[in-house]
């Protein structure tokens, strides 16, 4: 049965949620599922804003048919042709063969690469700033390359002042009926997934996101309709401010991510001792993560969230513990910058993990690596406590 929500009487959400997908992009766990948003505009002309992933195609096609209610589909606007939004394009065109695809030249080229058997009849190729009149409503296309792929554009609808924002301002998480930000508790239920989505999907592309934010600042936007997650119609400033921080690599809060690897529990002992001593000193934003069991997408999101990190790694076959190597490599890939880091290592012999982490992190932009460092030799001993105290002192001083 079709299942839609009204953004307003003429703009209808016709998307669907996948609650069975294990990993988005086959990389990022989505235990709360993920929504693929699509919107149908009903004016003198009808326009479908993107399609959806193949896994939810049947429900989506029901939604479109019920919303059109026997009207013709005039346009399909392809803002972003990644298959989570374009995989159903062919099925839509089978049902509505007279619909005209509206996209830019790069999108058209990429559609040909991903879907070589799909022949588009007379697509409308638009340029940055072009408009499409639908009746009372007019779409204005704003190119947003690398948010998240090079062909991405967003669309501003002038009458209702809606920004159809493609991947920007989206989130992991299925829609639990509540589609709008004022119907859901974003801070409690969505923020962590919105951050994890941002960091891992577009985190690397801070500068293009900032460019889009500047373009958006010149538009009078009352509603943001992204391709994933909540529709924003009340507290738009909240998600825009988060995007400003995330895209400028500014931490959300002064706090410490303590990320450790521990083979036998001794490095964990040090991680927890550091957390307790920092809490004693009044640090309230603390997160201790075992990197062997915490998903990398979550660790990277924590790294974007907090101002500080303490990284603890055993030396393993003369190298870093493998998951720590992966974590550092992910942070480099996502271009994280401007964090304060303290290092600890463990090794029964030839411990070099802290030195290796320092060498890597010295190449990260605007990272401050504290001098205080702890090296334990298998288990913590009483004579390690002065080093623990010194490291805690440096962390606290650096937060002032």
Quick one: which of 60, 68, 80, 300 contacts ligand FEO (CB under 6 A)? Answer: 80
- Nearest residue to 395 (alpha-carbon basis) of 322, 324, 314, 306: 306
With the CA atoms of 189, 192, 198 and 201 taken in that order, what torsion angle do they form, in degrees rounded to the nearest 10?
A: -100
Query: Which is closer to ligand FEO, CB of 106 or CB of 159?
Result: 106
Does 233 contact ligand FEO by CB under 6 A?
Answer: no
Residue 304 phi, psi (nearest 5): -70, -30
Quick one: which of 13, 57, 61, 85 contacts ligand FEO (CB under 6 A)? Answer: 85
Site string for ligand FEO, 94-133 (x = CB under 6 A): ----------------------------------------
Q: How far is the CB of 144 from ligand FEO (least distance, A)?
A: 11
Q: How large is the greatest C-alpha to C-alpha distance in the chain, in angstroms?
A: 79
Q: Is 27 buried (19+), middle (13-18) or exposed (0-12) by CB count in 10 A?
A: exposed
The two three-digit tokens of residue 277, written as one number: 């001593």
Using the rule CB under 6 A, give the single segment among 81-89, 209-217, 319-327, 331-339 that binds ligand FEO: 81-89
The two three-digit tokens of residue 391, written as one number: 């490291």
Using the rule CB under 6 A, give the single segment among 79-87, 111-119, 239-247, 338-346 that binds ligand FEO: 79-87
Window 153 to 182, contacts with ligand FEO (CB under 6 A): 167
Please tell me what DSSP assigns to residue 20: S
Query: Which is closer to ligand FEO, CB of 167 or CB of 181?
Result: 167
Q: What CA–CA distance (Å, rounded) separates 291 from 313?
A: 10
Q: How far is the CB of 14 from ligand FEO (least distance, A)?
A: 16
Site string for ligand FEO, 19-58 (x = CB under 6 A): ----------------------------------------
Count of residues that bind ligand FEO according to CB under 6 A: 9
Q: Give SS3 for 34.
A: strand
Window 333 to 392, contacts with ligand FEO (CB under 6 A): none
Q: Nearest residue by C-beta to ligand FEO?
A: 82
The answer to whether the beta carbons of residues 7 and 225 sit under 8 Å apart is yes
Query: Which is closer to ligand FEO, CB of 149 or CB of 190?
Result: 149
Q: How far is the CB of 320 from ligand FEO (least distance, A)?
A: 31
Q: What sign does the dihedral 213-216-217-221 (CA atoms) show?
A: negative
Quick one: which of 175, 225, 227, 331 contacts ligand FEO (CB under 6 A)? Answer: 227
Q: How far is the CB of 85 from ligand FEO (least distance, A)?
A: 6
Q: What CA–CA distance (Å, rounded) separates 390 from 392?
A: 6
394: how many CB neighbours lie within 10 A of its CB?
A: 16
Q: What CA–CA distance (Å, rounded) separates 146 from 168?
A: 10
Q: What CA–CA distance (Å, rounded) separates 121 from 385?
A: 72
Query: Which is closer to ligand FEO, CB of 54 or CB of 399?
Result: 54
Q: How far is the CB of 380 from ligand FEO (least distance, A)?
A: 45
Residue for token digits 């026997």? 70
HEC-encoded secondary structure of 226-289? CCCCCEECCCHHHHHHHHHHHHCCCCCEEEEEEEECCCCCHHHHHHHHHHHHHHHCCCCCEEEE
Query: Which is closer to ligand FEO, CB of 30 or CB of 312?
Result: 30
Q: How far is the CB of 334 from ligand FEO (least distance, A)?
A: 15
Quick one: which of 59, 137, 148, 195 contacts ligand FEO (CB under 6 A)? Answer: 148
Q: How far is the CB of 148 from ligand FEO (least distance, A)?
A: 4
Q: How far is the CB of 227 from ligand FEO (least distance, A)?
A: 5
Quick one: which of 43, 82, 192, 298 contacts ligand FEO (CB under 6 A)? Answer: 82
Query: Which is closer to ligand FEO, CB of 167 or CB of 192?
Result: 167
Q: How far is the CB of 266 from ligand FEO (least distance, A)?
A: 42
Q: What CA–CA distance (Å, rounded) separates 313 from 357?
A: 9
Burial 76-104 (b: 16+ CB within 10 A, else e): bbbbbbbebbbbbbbbbbeebeebbbbbb
Q: Which residues bind ligand FEO (CB under 6 A)?
A: 80, 82, 84-85, 148-149, 167, 227-228
């Amino acid at each position: 049965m079709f299942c839609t929500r009204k953004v307003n009487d003429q703009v209808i959400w016709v998307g669907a949620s996948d609650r069975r997908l294990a990993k988005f992009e086959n990389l990022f766990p989505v235990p709360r599922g993920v929504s693929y948003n699509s919107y149908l505009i009903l004016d003198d002309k009808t326009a479908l804003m993107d399609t959806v992933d193949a896994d939810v195609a049947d429900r989506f096609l029901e939604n479109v048919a019920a919303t059109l209610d026997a009207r013709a589909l005039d346009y399909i606007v392809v803002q972003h042709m990644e298959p989570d939004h374009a995989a159903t394009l062919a099925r839509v065109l089978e049902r509505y063969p007279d619909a005209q695809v509206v996209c830019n030249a790069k999108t058209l080229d990429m559609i040909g690469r991903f879907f070589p058997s799909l022949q588009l009849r007379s697509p409308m190729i638009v340029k940055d700033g072009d408009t499409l009149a639908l009746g009372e409503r007019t779409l204005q296309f704003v190119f947003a390359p690398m948010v998240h792929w090079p062909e991405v554009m967003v669309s501003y609808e002038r009458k209702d002042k809606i920004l159809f924002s493609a991947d920007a301002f989206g989130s992991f998480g299925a829609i639990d009926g509540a589609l709008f930000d004022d119907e859901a508790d974003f801070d409690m239920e969505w923020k962590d997934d919105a951050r994890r989505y941002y960091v891992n999907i577009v985190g690397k592309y801070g500068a293009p996101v900032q460019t889009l934010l500047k373009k958006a600042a010149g538009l009078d936007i009352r509603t943001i309709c992204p391709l994933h997650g909540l529709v924003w119609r009340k507290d738009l400033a909240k998600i825009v401010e988060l995007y400003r921080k995330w895209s400028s690599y500014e931490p959300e809060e002064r706090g410490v991510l303590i990320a450790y690897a521990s083979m036998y529990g001794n490095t964990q002992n040090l991680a927890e001792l550091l957390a307790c001593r920092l809490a004693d000193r009044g640090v309230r934003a603390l997160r201790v993560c075992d990197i062997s069991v915490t998903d990398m997408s979550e660790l990277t999101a924590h790294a974007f969230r907090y101002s500080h990190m303490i990284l603890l790694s055993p030396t393993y076959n003369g190298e870093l513990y493998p998951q720590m190597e992966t974590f550092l490599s992910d942070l480099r890939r996502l271009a994280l910058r401007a964090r304060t880091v303290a290092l600890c290592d463990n090794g029964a012999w030839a411990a070099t993990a802290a030195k290796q982490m320092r060498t890597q992190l010295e190449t990260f932009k605007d990272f401050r690596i504290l001098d205080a460092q702890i090296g334990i030799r298998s288990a913590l001993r009483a004579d390690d406590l002065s080093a623990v105290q010194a490291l805690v002192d440096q962390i606290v001083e650096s937060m002032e």
